Amino acid sequence: MKLGIHAYAWCSEWSNQTLGLIDRAKGLGLDFIEIPLMCLPLCDPAAIKDRLRAVGMDVSTSTVLLGETDITSDDPAIRAKGVKYLRDCVKATHDMGGINFSGVIYSQHVKAARRRPTEQTWRYSAESLREVAKYAQDLGVRLGLEPVNRYETYLINTCEQALRLREMIGMDNVKIHLDTYHMNIEEKSFYDATKLAGEHLIHYHLCENDRGIPGTGLVDWDGIFRALGELKYQGYAAMESFVDCTDNMNTWVWRQLAKDGDTLVHEGLAFLRKLQKKYGMA
């Protein structure tokens, strides 16, 4: 399993001014860095690829859809804009050397919904993502559907729902991305949800229940790593904690969750490496 860090542990926006975080992550003993594509015009895939190669790091990418790119909108122009945005994210991922692009890519993040999603909502999402997946397949990129909690989406809160949408899309390069912060709210069992994802699991966000340092809260880490060990999981897993509020997405960081990003990595990585060893994944 590749262990990494989400860049928002150190910054609130990715640009060429933050390229040094790649070196920083490498120096802290991580295998990859997860780069957010929320501010896509500021992302320079060629510069990222060069820096990754120079230090010997892997990369994954992620994003969320906003109102103007909501592929479940009743407005076909908004859905088309969402498809274009996701295709652009796929291209950026490919151009920087990545193979995984994931996140809340199936509907607007924090949508002001007043009713449950309809079957048409599901169809809009599946049809749009099928188009994106076909484009991504030609570039060798996989899409990861990330279930998030009920306060951040009304469409996919659980692994079971993500698998349903994956089946509706019907593309082999559509996979599952789990996140312990959201699972702590929505799943009955960390172990069962992880096993349910099975061979389709390609990315995992390893967060404490408050998004703090892994091992300092309520998450069932033994259940998670027991499942990962049984699956012989070899994919990506990133610590994800946000350091500040951003102008490009809601992070809800109202207090300091760790002393700093380096402390999060040092202490979190030591805890996670012990679990890897305990469950035969070292």
Would you please indicate which residues are annotated as catalytic (active-site) residues? 146, 240
- Rounded Cα–Cα distance for residues 62 and 109 (Å): 13
DSSP-based three-state secondary structure for 115 = coil
- Rounded Cα–Cα distance for residues 198 and 178 (Å): 11
* Residues sharing a CB contact under 8 Å with residue 156, sequence separation 6 or more, in sequence order: 106, 107, 145, 146, 147, 148, 162, 165
Stated as kind and residue range, the H or E segment containing 225 is: helix 221-231
What secondary structure does DSSP assign to 153-186, as a single string? -SS--SHHHHHHHHHHHT-TTEEEEEEHHHHHHH
Question: What per-residue string of b and e applies to 234-259 under the rule 16 or more CB within 10 Å gives b?
Answer: ebbbbbbbbbeebebbeeebeeebbe
**Distances in whole angstroms, Cα of residue 224 to Cα of each of 194, 229, 234, 268:** 7, 9, 14, 15
